[in-house]
Amino acid sequence: MRITRVLSVALFALGLAAGPAAADSSPSASPSGDGGAPTEAGTSFRTATEIEQGQTATASGSAGDYLYWSFPADTGQRPTVKATVKLPEAHSGSEKWQVDVYDGLRRRQACQYGAQTRTAARGASSVELSCTLRTVRSWSEPWADDPLPGTYYIRLTVVGLAQSDLGLPVGAEVRVDSKDVGGSAAVDGSLAKPLVPGIAVTSAGEDDDKPGSAVLSAIDPDDGWSSGWWTDRWVWTGIGGVLAALAGIGGYALTRGSGRPSRVPPGA
């Protein structure tokens, strides 16, 4: 009876511990609406238009322009960038469009999968591009180019174009969504600060609670930067400890016997 009660309490604790882990492994929620989404794009890294994950940003430009957006990505997220280019009816030949993603150090990040470059055939009204990055890590070696938490840049441009189509008006739509990978991609260590442009360029009076911070990117994740200290590995480590304790209790119960001394026949 005592062992049954211990097992019941342990199973209840396992259920409470597994709850947060299941919640963390689900895809990150996206805003329900696109109210206030940007309707223009920047023309360089410094003028990139800031967007939030889950927003659909639009912009108008000309064939041959470089269009830039920026968005925040935190530890454990696997961002997917999707871009749609709406072509004019008057374009004469095939156009090859490409979407590139750069991190806060302006290092080009490789796409894990997706159609990063596509050619729009003659007469096509639009072309769709996508790029799924590797999972953002909380820490990396200085020589590595692993995705790290901070600001990411999207650059959309045409890389193959007929001379007669140069300068024709085009429209663009860009959206970023992330999947929360969780502790399966976690690593030990964390950055002191996320890779946000200008985060280390602050005024001398900031410590005195005076305004004047020179941060170039003002957009952060909705729940703030995680800094890489929490992953669901903590939960599964706790579950492993509970299971080990249960195994020890069960083994002890099986090997100790009834605990009563054996009867000795009289006169023995």
pLDDT of residue 47: 93
The residues near 2 (Cβ < 8 Å, ≥ 6 apart) are none
Tokens coding 54: 């889950």
Size of the chain, expressed as the number of residues it contains: 268
The CATH number of 30-230 is: 2.60.120.380
Q: How many CB atoms lie within 10 A of CB 63?
A: 20
Instruction: For residue range 192-249, list pLDDT tens digits in order.
Output: 677 887 654 443 344 444 444 444 556 767 666 664 455 566 666 778 788 888 888 8
In eight-state DSSP terms, residue 206 is G
Residue among 180, 107, 99, 98 nearest 150 (CA): 107
Residue among 198, 191, 178 nearest 144 (CA): 191
Residue among 71, 61, 141 nearest 102 (CA): 71
pLDDT of residue 34: 58
Cβ atoms of 231 and 76 within 8 Å: the answer is: yes
Q: Is 227 exposed, middle or buried (0-12, 13-18, 19+ CB in 10 A)?
A: middle
Mean pLDDT over each residue of the chain, to the nearest integer: 76
Instruction: For residue range 15-51, list pLDDT tens digits in order.
Output: 544 444 433 333 333 344 456 889 999 999 999 999 9
Residue type, 186: A
Residue type, 214: A
pLDDT above 90: percentage of residues in the chain: 34
Band (pLDDT 50/70/90 cuts) for residue 184 is: low
Largest Cα–Cα distance of the chain, in whole Å? 117
Band (pLDDT 50/70/90 cuts) for residue 59 is: very high
Mean pLDDT throughout 111-125? 89
Using CA atoms, how far residue 255 sits from 122, 130, 242, 244, 258, in Å, is: 79, 60, 20, 17, 9
In the block, residue with structure tokens 């480590």: 237
- What does the domain layout of the chain look like in residue ranges? 1-25+232-247, 30-230
pLDDT of residue 258: 57
More confident residue, 169 or 241: 169
Band (pLDDT 50/70/90 cuts) for residue 140 is: confident
Instruction: For residue range 60-93, list pLDDT tens digits in order.
Output: 999 889 999 999 998 889 999 999 999 988 777 7
More confident residue, 55 or 251: 55
Dist. CA 179–CA 76, nearest whole Å:
8
